[in-house]
């Protein structure tokens, strides 16, 4: 039965528009779940952990062999030292085969049997983890540094840009935008609420280059009637979530971004990135975050 002891109070912080505990790091939060931790850590740390575990296993079995140092034979060896036991363990764990040393006692043969099984499990687990890490799609969705609010077809419209930096086709691309804001009820309860922002186009058959998401601020919009000062006072943030399917790997990809109130610029619009007309068109990536004054 799992313990029902209440957890100790934890300090909260606002991250990407929502509250998390201060101990929630990018990957450290998975420390209680080894599988998720090994998938989340950076590659250098993952390889270092594997190397460290490999070293510890060999040291442990070398210590077991030292309980019967005369059980290892070869080249007139009478009693094996720790160094010979360690490298004998490396040969056994990796199924390399024996050269100068070999087991000659029943105890050492039993330890060799246990280490051979351990080696099979270690290789299977490390291979599976490496494959799981390689098989994940490396998402490179770039979001604009700012959100703009300007007039579009007679309505104030919130706009943001995103781009596919890898320029591989993402199928069934979908975009969700939410407004996270502190609200107080008539009874005095303060709550962090998330309101969906309806987009003019929230999905696309394929996403290859850029996408400008637009939300009209009409009477039904959660942003209707709110000015920059009110948004800042309510600690408002715009949360953006992207999802799609990698055409090459046939695997889902996700990305997210958040914009606090100070990154929502009223009276500005993005500079057009496309130049030319007809079939002679160019896209200028240096303009991705450039804005100009608009009504």
Q: Tokens in use for 15? A: 């991250």
What pLDDT is attached to residue 109? 92
What pLDDT is attached to residue 276? 74
The CATH T-level fold of domain 141-293 is: Immunoglobulin-like (2.60.40)
- Is the model more confident about 74 or about 286? 286
As a whole-number percent, the residues of the chain with pLDDT over 70 amount to: 86
What pLDDT is attached to residue 218? 92
Instruction: Report the pLDDT averaged over residues 235-253.
Output: 89
| Helix, strand or coil, per DSSP, at residue 77 | coil
What does the mean pLDDT of the chain come to? 84
Tell whether the model's pLDDT for residue 20 goes beyond 80: no
Measured distance CA(63)–CA(89) in Å, rounded: 10
103's CB contacts (< 8 A; 6+ apart) are 71, 72, 73, 109, 111, 112
Tell whether the model's pLDDT for residue 120 goes beyond 50: yes
Measured distance CA(214)–CA(148) in Å, rounded: 10
What pLDDT is attached to residue 1? 46
Instruction: Report the pLDDT averaged over residues 97-120.
Output: 87
- Is the model more confident about 274 or about 213? 213
Residue matched to tokens 């104030």? 156
Lowest mean pLDDT among 13-17, 38-42, 173-177, 286-290: 13-17
Instruction: Report the pLDDT averaged over residues 72-80.
Output: 77
What pLDDT is attached to residue 31? 63
What pLDDT is attached to residue 221? 93
Lowest mean pLDDT among 5-14, 110-119, 246-255, 256-265: 5-14
Instruction: Report the pLDDT averaged over residues 92-116.
Output: 86
Domain limits, the chain? 29-135, 141-293
Measured distance CA(9)–CA(12) in Å, rounded: 9
The answer to whether the CB of 180 falls within 8 A of the CB of 199 is no
Measured distance CA(79)–CA(98) in Å, rounded: 17
Question: Which of the four CATH numbers 1.10.287.70, 3.40.50.2300, 3.30.360.10, 3.90.380.10 does domain 29-135 have?
Answer: 1.10.287.70
DSSP secondary structure string, 88-121? HHHHHHTT---SS-EE-SHHHHHHHHHHHHHHHH
Categorize the per-residue pLDDT at 209 as very low, low, confident or very high, splitting at 50, 70 and 90.
confident
What is the per-residue pLDDT across 124-134, written as a single tens digit (0 to 9) for each? 999 999 988 88
Instruction: Report the pLDDT averaged over residues 203-228.
Output: 91
Instruction: Report the pLDDT averaged over residues 38-50.
Output: 88
Instruction: Report the pLDDT averaged over residues 252-261.
Output: 90
The answer to whether the CB of 13 falls within 8 A of the CB of 20 is yes
Q: What is the pTM of this model?
A: 0.67
Instruction: Report the pLDDT averaged over residues 109-115.
Output: 93
Tell whether the model's pLDDT for residue 18 goes beyond 60: no
Tell whether the model's pLDDT for residue 149 goes beyond 90: yes
What pLDDT is attached to residue 199? 95
Tell whether the model's pLDDT for residue 54 goes beyond 90: yes
Q: Tokens in use for 76? A: 């007139």
As a whole-number percent, the residues of the chain with pLDDT over 90 amount to: 47
What pLDDT is attached to residue 270? 93
């Amino acid at each position: 039965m799992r313990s029902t002891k209440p957890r100790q109070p934890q300090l909260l912080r606002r991250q990407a528009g929502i509250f998390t505990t201060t101990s929630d790091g990018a990957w450290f939060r998975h420390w209680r779940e080894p599988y998720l931790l090994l998938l989340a850590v950076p590659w250098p740390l993952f390889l270092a952990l594997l190397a460290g575990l490999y070293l510890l296993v060999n040291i442990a079995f070398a210590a077991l062999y030292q309980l019967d140092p005369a059980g290892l034979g070869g080249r007139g060896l009478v009693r094996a030292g720790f160094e010979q036991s360690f490298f004998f363990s490396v040969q056994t764990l990796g199924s390399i085969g024996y050269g100068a040393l070999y087991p000659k006692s029943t105890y050492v043969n039993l330890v060799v049997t246990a280490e051979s099984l351990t080696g099979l499990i270690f290789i299977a687990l490390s291979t599976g983890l490496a494959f799981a890490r390689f098989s994940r799609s490396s998402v490179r969705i770039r979001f604009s540094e700012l959100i703009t609010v300007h007039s579009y077809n007679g309505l104030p419209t919130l706009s943001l840009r995103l781009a596919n930096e890898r320029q591989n086709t993402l199928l069934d691309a979908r975009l969700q935008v939410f407004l996270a804001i502190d609200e107080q009820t008539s009874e005095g309860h303060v709550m962090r609420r998330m309101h969906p922002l309806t987009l003019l186009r929230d999905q696309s058959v394929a996403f290859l280059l850029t996408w400008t998401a637009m939300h009209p601020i009409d009477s039904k919009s959660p942003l209707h009637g709110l000015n920059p000062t009110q948004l800042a006072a309510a600690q408002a943030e715009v949360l953006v979530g992207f999802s799609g399917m990698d055409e090459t790997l046939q695997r889902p990809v996700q990305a997210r971004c958040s914009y606090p109130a100070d990154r929502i610029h009223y009276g500005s619009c993005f500079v057009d990135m496309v130049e030319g007309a007809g079939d002679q068109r160019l896209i200028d990536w240096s303009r991705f975050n450039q804005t100009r004054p608009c009504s």
